[in-house]
Homo-oligomer: A and B are copies of this chain.
Amino acid sequence: MQKVAVLRWGHRAFRDERLTTHLVLAARAFGASEFFLADVEDEKIKTTIERAVQQWGGPFAFKMGIPWREIVKDWKAKDGTVIHLTMYGENIQTSDVLQRIKTTRKDVLVIVGSQKVPSEFYKISDFNVAIGNQPHSECSSLAVFLDRFFEGKGLEKEFKNWRIKLTPDPHGKHVIKRDV
């Protein structure tokens, strides 16, 4: 099974706090195993994510402050493939780009930028992938990419060491709690 890590570029403290938090939670919920908040540190997000993993389970690694070039270089050195999510890229729906990514059988680093990204991203990435060629959100792009990449299986993943877990309920809330 190909492993997926996410690299978030361009996070600005305060302004992007909630959006980046949503992005990290989406990465975890849809099956990624690792998240890099590149170049910057944000203790508040780190605390939120660590608490979420403690409550809802893991494993899920959150790292911050490493320069993006270093993360990409390391990933490539380990023979991983690099994907840049961008509305300008090959459309995941109308092209065969997802199939080509899977065929590599390599571990995947997904770069998620913000409004303006360095033009280098388009060149250093093995694939530039558009979750449709219309504007929407990093968060929706990442979720749909992962949902399609894992063919929906991300949503049935069983996490380990959870303290809270939900049992699907058609009309209310069914919460299971335990001490670990």
Contact = CB atoms under 8 A, between A and B. Distances in A.
Interface in A156-170: 156, 159, 165-170
Contacts of A134: 25, 28-29, 56, 159, 166
A104 interface: no
B25 A155 contact: no
A136 interface: yes
A13 interface: no
A127 B94 CA distance: 31
A89 B137 CA distance: 24
How many copies make up the complex? 2
Contacts of A142: 140
Contact of A29 (B29, B56, B140, B172): B140
A89 B37 CA distance: 31
A160 to B, nearest CB: 13
A136 B25 contact: yes
Contacts of A170: 89-90, 127-128
A95 interface: yes
A169 B95 CA distance: 11
A72 interface: no
A58 to B, nearest CB: 11
B29 A171 contact: no
Given A122-B171, A172-B88, A136 B22 contact: yes
